[in-house]
Structure 1
C-alpha cells in the first residue's frame, strides 16, 4: 500500500503542475468536510481534485479525504446587478427627472453616480453585452433574436467561447440567480423542447424566475417560467402583479440562501420588466401621479434640464438640444383631447417607474436586513437603452398595434382613459414624452448614433470599498465594462478556458479605478467605443464622436431605408469635451477628424463582427431562421399542451390554412378551448361555448371577427374544422374563413384585414386550455380547459403568400429561389 500512496502523490503533483487553475490556497485537512479552495480562475470549472487521503486495506488504517469546496477570494463581495428597461437618462429623479426613484437615489447617495455610461440602444443587445463583457455583435446580438439574420454578429447565439459572468462566478463559488427579463435565449430555442444551454440555467445561473422574450403582461404574464417550467401564479389572484411577485421571489431566494448557507456569497441579476411596455403599475401608484404632468412635455423638459444642472449630473455649460419641430408637435399646439390623453399616459408611465424602483428597494432592503449590505457591490443601471418611442406619436392602448402598423385614433384611445394601465390595456406613451425622458439629449431607443438612445444613468455602491458617498463620475464607459468591474471587485480572474473551451478576450475595461475619490477626475480608461443598431452608427474616440444622422424615426416602421447604407447616409461630428449633449455639429469644419472616425468605425466593425450592415426591417422580418417548426406544413397534437412561446407554434400569418379538431363532446354539451395563440391583445381562439363551435380572431384589439355554429354539438364524436383562404400576396391581407362541423358548413365570413407580423410577444400557443389572457373576455376566462376529449388536432398550412418584392428579399437573403 505504500506503493499505492506513492502513486497518489505522483498524480497529485502531476495535476498541480499541469493545471495552474487548481489549488491556489487551501484550508482544511484530509478527512475534514470543511476543506475549501480558492481558484485563480483561469481554467473553470476546476478539475476534480485528486484524492488527498490514504487508502489501506481497512478503514481503521486509512484516512478519508473530501474534495474541497470552491470559494471566492477572502472578502469577495456579494453582487447585486440591477437593470431596468427603456428608461431614459432624464426620467429618474436621481438624474434630474420628475419621477421619484428613491432607491436609485439611495444607491447613488451611498456611492457614486456615473453620468457618461452607455448602452447599445436596444434591449437584448445591451443585456448580452452586460452579462458577457463583450460587444453585442461579438456575442451574436447585433439585434434582438426575433430579427436575427444568421451572420455571426446577428445570430443571437452566445457561443461557448464567450461565457457569462454568471458562469464565471458560479464556478468560483458564488450562488448565482437571475430574476426578470430574459431576452437572450434565441427565440428559436425558447420552447420546452430545449436545448436549454442558452437559457439562464444553461448560462451559469443556478436559479431563474422570469419571463422569456422582450416584454410581458405584468398582470397576466403568458411567458413566465421558473428555471425551464412555465408557471401561471396569477390565476385566481386578482391584483397580482409581476413587479411585486418578482421582488417577493428574489427576497425569498435571498432569505433561503442566507438561512442555509450564510457564508456563501451571491450574485443576483435583477432585471424587472419596468418600464418596457406594457406600462402596468398598480392603481395606488397611478393615483400618486394624477395631474403631475399637465404642464406638458416641453415644460417638463425644461424642468428636468434645470434639475440636472442643479444636481451636477450634466455640466453647467451643457446645452439642451432643440425640440424636433419637424417630427413632434409642441405641447401648446395640441388640442385639448390630446393633452388629456397624453398627460394620462405619462402619469401611468411615471407610476410604473416609481413602482418598479419601489420593488427594487425591497430587494436592496432584504440585503441590508441580512446584515450584508456593507459588503455588497450594487450596480443599478437605469435603463437598457433610451426611452422607448415604440408607442408612436399618439401612444397606444395596445403596443402590438404599432408592431403591426396599425394606428389607433386618439378618440378611440380616450375610451380607455379610466382604465389606462389596467389589465384590459397593454399601453405605451407617445413619443413627445419619450423625447422628454431622454433630456438633455436628442433621439430615443433604437438610435445608436445619439445619446438619447444610448446614455444611461448608473449608480454604484459598496460601503466597504466606496467611501466617496454621493460622488459623481464623468468618465466615459459602456455596458461591456460591467463584467470586468465585477471581476476586479471580487478578485476573480477572467477565465482562459471554460469547460475546456478557450475563451475570447473580454472587451470591456474595469471601472473600479473610479471608486477612489482620488481618481474622481482621472481620464477614462475607455478611449474608443463603437455603436451600431440597424445601420445607425457612431464612433467615440478620445472625446470626439462621429454619428450618422438617423435615416428614419424609430416609431415609423414603414419609413424607407437607404439603399446604400455604407455611403448613402449623412454623418455628424461632435466634440463632447466641449459639447456634452451633441448640440453643435462640427462636421463641416472638421472634415479630417470626421474621416478619421469614419475609418476607425470600419476598423472596429470588422473587429467586432458588426458587418454586414443592414438597415432593412423587411429583410430581418422575412429572414428564415432555424426553429422546431421550420419547413413543416402539418402539425398534429393528441394531448393538451400549453405554454409554447412565440416562434415555436404553427404560424398562420399571411397564408391559407386549415385547423381540424377531432373531439368527443360530453353529455350536456361541451365547453373549453381546443387551440389558441395569443390573447386579449391579439390572436385567435378555436373553442366550444355551450356546445357551439367558435373561431374568434382578434385583430390586435382593434376588431374581433367571429365564426360561430348555430347549433350546439350533440354528445359524441365530431370533426370541427376552420379553413381560411388568404387574399394575398402581401402582409396583413384579408380572406375568407369557413367554419364546418362534420363536413357541413356552419359559418362563413370574409374579413378585410389580418394580423401581418405578430399576434403578441408574451402570449403562448395552447392546446386544450388557455394560459395568459382570453381572446374574448365576454366568452370565457382562462384556463377554460376543454371538458370533452380532444382526440386529435391538426394544422395544415400553405406557403406564405408574399409579394414580388417580398419574395425577392427572401431569395436574396437565403441565396436560393423560392
Structure 2
C-alpha cells in the first residue's frame, strides 16, 4: 500500500508498508534487538557484509497505528561454539609431554585427554607462512607469505600482503555475529606498514579482529617488549614493574576479556586467537620455572632423544613400524663435549624447557577461565604445539644473543659461560644449541626453516569440543596441514565459506575440513588431504597418497653463512619415501623408484605454479636488507623533532652498510643537559646518540660482544649547539658489515675520531625501536644510562642523512 500525506512546509513524504521475503534454503537467521517482533532471514549468507535489511515494521501517519522494528543484525547459528585457537612458537614435535617429550605440558595434555590428539599435522617450516595459512585457510604462497615478512620480495607469493580476495576466517566470523580477539604474536602485517602512520587495514584490527593485544613481528623480549601494541597503539606496561613478564601479562589480558564477554554478552559466541611468544627465542621464563628443570638434561641429547622415542611408542603417537633415524654426523655426540660445553648446553635446555612449560601453564590459565565461565562444553579448543619445528637459530653452541645469528656471528662457548647464571634473564636474549633442537624434534629429522623434512613441518596438535567430540583421548593419524584449520572451524560452526567479502570476490579456501575425523567411527578413516606441497627458501617437499618426495638440504640451517646452490631449480638432490612403510623418512627410495620420483617432482611444479610458489629463491640474510616499499623507501634525509619515535626498523632510517650523518640541533639549559638524543636497538644490538654528564657520546653496540664509542672530552656549556656524528665506510671489503671511520663533532669541531673494524651487516635488535629524545626500550650500554633517560635540554631537530650504500646495485636474488 502506498500513500502520501502533506506535512508542514508542503513536504511530501511517501510511506510504505514493507514486507520482507524469506531467503534461500541456506539462509542464516538475523537477530533483532530484544523485543523485536519479527525475525528475518538473510538471502545469501555467503556475501559479506549483508545489504541493509528493509524495515520490517509498519509505518502509518500515527505512531499509535504503526509497528516498530529495530534493524536486525546477522547472528551466529544457534548453539554456535566459541573457538579458542592456540598456537605456540618454534616447538619440535617431540618437545611436549603430550607427544612423548619430557617437558610437562599439562594444558596441552588436558585438551588431548578431553578430545583428540593429531599425529600427522603439518605446518610450513617458518612463522609468518604458517600463521597466514592458519587465518585464511589457504596455502601460504597463495596469500603472499612464502617466507617470513622480513624476507618478503616483490612477487605475488612472497610480498607479505594478505589480499582483499583472501579474507581471514576471522573477518567471516565477525560478520556472522562473533566477538573476535587476538592475543600475542602478529607476524603477518607488512613490516613497512607497522608505524603510527599506518595504513592499518592489515593490522589485526583490519583483518577481522575487534581487539588486539600483542607484539608486531617475529619475536619480542618477554621482559621488556618494545613492539607491544593494544590495537594500533604502542604500549610499555613493563615500565616501573620489575619482574613483569609478557607471558603472564598476556594471559591476564585474555582472562579478563573472557570474563567480560561472559558477563556482558553471555549469549554471543567468541573467537580468540591466542599466540604466545613461547618457545621462540628469546627464552624468557621466570626464575621459579627454571628451578623446576635443574639437572633434568645432564644426561645429554642422545639419551633424552631415546627416551622421547620410547615415550612416543608407548603413547601411540607413532605407528609401530616407525624407526628412529641415526644421530646426524653434522652434530657432536654428547660424550665428545668438554665439561664446559655440557654445563652450558644443559643450562640452555633447562631454560628452554622452563619457557615451554611456563607458556603451557599460562595457556592452561586461559582455558581454565573458559571452564570457570561455564563455557568449556561448547568451546572448540584447537591447540597447535608450534608453528614449525624447533629453531636452529641458536647455532651449534647456542647463544646468549639471538641477533648474533641474524648477523652471521657465532659466539664461542668461552664467551657464553659468563652468562650461564643469567640465562633467561633480562641480560640475555637466548636460544639453545641445535643438538637439543634435533632431539626435541624426535623422531623426525631437521629443524625450522627446512620444509623438506618433517622435523621442520610436523607439529603436535590437540582438539577438544566436549559437546561434539565423544572419543575422549582418541588419537588421529590422518595427514593434514595448517590450512585445514579454517574450513574445520567454519564447518563446525555451520557458516558457509563466503563468496564475497567487503565487496571483493573471494578466491576459494584451499583447506580441507578435518571435522570428519571427530567421530569415533572415523578414527581410522583415510586422509581426505591427498596432496600437499611444501616450500621454504627453496627447500621442497610434495606429499601424494602416502608417498613423499623432497629435496636434500644443501646447507645447514644453523650456519647463517652457508652457501645455497646457484641453480635453485635443478641444483638440489631429491629423496623419496613411502610414508606408510617409513613414517620417519629414514629409507630413501629415490634410486629404487626413479619414475615415481619424477612424477612427484612434476606434481610439485604443477602445484607450485598453481599456488604462486614460483619463482624459487634460496637467499635468506641478504633479503633482510633488500629494498621494500614504505615510508623510508628511497629516502636519504629524515628530519625529526623529539621527543617521539617508537618506529620499527622497516620505517626508520637504516645506518647499516652505508655512509651516514646525524646532526642534532640542541639547546643546553643552565646547569647542563643529559639524555638520549636518538637511538635505535638496545642491549643486544644497536646504536645510541646521547649526552652523558653533559658530554656528547655516540655508541655502537655490536651484539653485546664489543662496543665502539666516541665521546667528547668535556661537557657542553649552556646555549645552542650543533652535534654531529658521521660515518664513512672503507672503500673496499665485503659489501656488508664493512668497517670505516666515525667522527663526532661539536659546532663544526672534531672532538673524537676512530676507526671501526666492523659494523652490523644485517640487523639491529628488531624488537626495539628508533626513538628520539628518550629510549623506550633497553639501553645500548647499561654502563652509561638506564632507560628512558630523557633528554633534559631542548631538542630542536635531528637530521639523519644517508649516503651511498656499500651493497651491490643489482637487486638481491
Q: TM-score, normalised by structure 1?
A: 0.96
> Cα distance, 1:479 vs. partner?
0.1
The question of 1:347 aligning with 2:350 is answered: yes
> For 2:338, which of 335, 339, 356 is the aligned residue?
335
The question of 1:91 aligning with 2:87 is answered: no
The question of 1:606 aligning with 2:609 is answered: yes
Residues 384, 27 of structure 1: alpha-carbon distance in 2 compared, 3 angstrom cutoff = closer
Q: Give per-residue Cα distances to partners, 1:722-760, cap 9 Å, x unaligned.
A: 111111551111111111111111111111111000012
Counterpart Cα distance in 1 of 2:711 and 2:570: 56
> For 1:751, which of 756, 759, 782 is the aligned residue?
756
> For 2:276, which of 257, 272, 297 is the aligned residue?
272
1:659 aligned residue: 662
> For 1:765, which of 754, 760, 770 is the aligned residue?
770
> For 1:731, which of 703, 721, 736 is the aligned residue?
736
**What does residue range 416-815 of structure 1 map to in structure 2 within 5 Å?**
416-617=419-620, 620-729=623-732, 730-802=735-807, 806-810=808-812
> Cα distance, 1:6 vs. partner?
9.6
Residues 367, 31 of structure 1: alpha-carbon distance in 2 compared, 3 angstrom cutoff = closer
Q: TM-score, normalised by structure 2?
A: 0.96
Q: Is the 8 A contact 1:22 1:47 kept in 2?
A: no
Q: Is the 8 A contact 1:30 1:66 kept in 2?
A: no
Q: Is the 8 A contact 1:31 1:63 kept in 2?
A: no
1:816 aligned residue: none
Q: Give per-residue Cα distances to partners, 1:659-711, cap 9 Å, x unaligned.
A: 01111112211111111000000001111112111111100111111111111
> For 2:306, which of 302, 306, 314 is the aligned residue?
302
> Cα distance, 1:28 vs. partner?
5.6
Q: Give per-residue Cα distances to partners, 1:233-276, cap 9 Å, x unaligned.
A: 00000000000000001111111111111111110000000000
1:262 aligned residue: 266
2:217 aligned residue: 213
> Cα distance, 1:38 vs. partner?
6.8
Q: Give per-residue Cα distances to partners, 1:28-68, cap 9 Å, x unaligned.
A: 69972996867863011111111122233343333222111
> For 2:143, which of 139, 142, 146 is the aligned residue?
139
1:194 aligned residue: 198
Counterpart Cα distance in 2 of 1:39 and 1:559: 58
SS at structure 2 position matched to 1:658: strand
2:9 aligned residue: none
Counterpart Cα distance in 2 of 1:360 and 1:167: 24
1:80 aligned residue: 84
Counterpart Cα distance in 1 of 2:269 and 2:70: 22
How many residue pairs align between the two structures?
803
> Cα distance, 1:165 vs. partner?
1.2
The question of 1:55 aligning with 2:48 is answered: no
> Cα distance, 1:8 vs. partner?
4.8
Q: Give per-residue Cα distances to partners, 1:95-122, cap 9 Å, x unaligned.
A: 0001000000000000000000000000
Q: Is the 8 A contact 2:123 2:459 kept in 1?
A: yes
**What does residue range 248-259 of structure 1 map to in structure 2 within 5 Å?**
248-259=252-263
2:46 aligned residue: 42
Counterpart Cα distance in 1 of 2:731 and 2:301: 42
Counterpart Cα distance in 2 of 1:754 and 1:269: 39
Q: Is the 8 A contact 2:674 2:792 kept in 1?
A: yes
Q: Is the 8 A contact 1:31 1:53 kept in 2?
A: no
Residues 7, 554 of structure 1: alpha-carbon distance in 2 compared, 3 angstrom cutoff = farther
Residues 604, 299 of structure 1: alpha-carbon distance in 2 compared, 3 angstrom cutoff = same
Counterpart Cα distance in 2 of 1:297 and 1:22: 56
> Cα distance, 1:616 vs. partner?
2.1
2:10 aligned residue: none
Counterpart Cα distance in 2 of 1:102 and 1:332: 32
Counterpart Cα distance in 1 of 2:57 and 2:572: 70
2:8 aligned residue: none
> Cα distance, 1:623 vs. partner?
3.3
> Cα distance, 1:81 vs. partner?
0.1
Residues 256, 618 of structure 1: alpha-carbon distance in 2 compared, 3 angstrom cutoff = closer
Counterpart Cα distance in 2 of 1:799 and 1:758: 18
> Cα distance, 1:3 vs. partner?
3.5
Counterpart Cα distance in 1 of 2:687 and 2:37: 58
> For 1:108, which of 112, 115, 140 is the aligned residue?
112
Q: Give per-residue Cα distances to partners, 1:114-136, cap 9 Å, x unaligned.
A: 00000000011000000000000
> Cα distance, 1:788 vs. partner?
1.5
Q: Is the 8 A contact 2:711 2:752 kept in 1?
A: yes
Counterpart Cα distance in 2 of 1:489 and 1:626: 40
Counterpart Cα distance in 2 of 1:658 and 1:231: 30
> For 2:385, which of 371, 382, 392 is the aligned residue?
382
The question of 1:204 aligning with 2:208 is answered: yes
Q: Is the 8 A contact 1:85 1:274 kept in 2?
A: yes
2:177 aligned residue: 173
2:129 aligned residue: 125
SS at structure 2 position matched to 1:251: helix
- Structure 2 alignment gaps of length 5 or more: 5-12
1:318 aligned residue: 322
1:185 aligned residue: 189
> Cα distance, 1:556 vs. partner?
1.2
Q: Give per-residue Cα distances to partners, 1:413-433, cap 9 Å, x unaligned.
A: 000010000000000001000
The question of 1:231 aligning with 2:235 is answered: yes
Q: Give per-residue Cα distances to partners, 1:584-628, cap 9 Å, x unaligned.
A: 111111111111111100110011000111112265345321111
Residues 222, 29 of structure 1: alpha-carbon distance in 2 compared, 3 angstrom cutoff = closer
Counterpart Cα distance in 2 of 1:263 and 1:252: 17
Residues 39, 404 of structure 1: alpha-carbon distance in 2 compared, 3 angstrom cutoff = farther
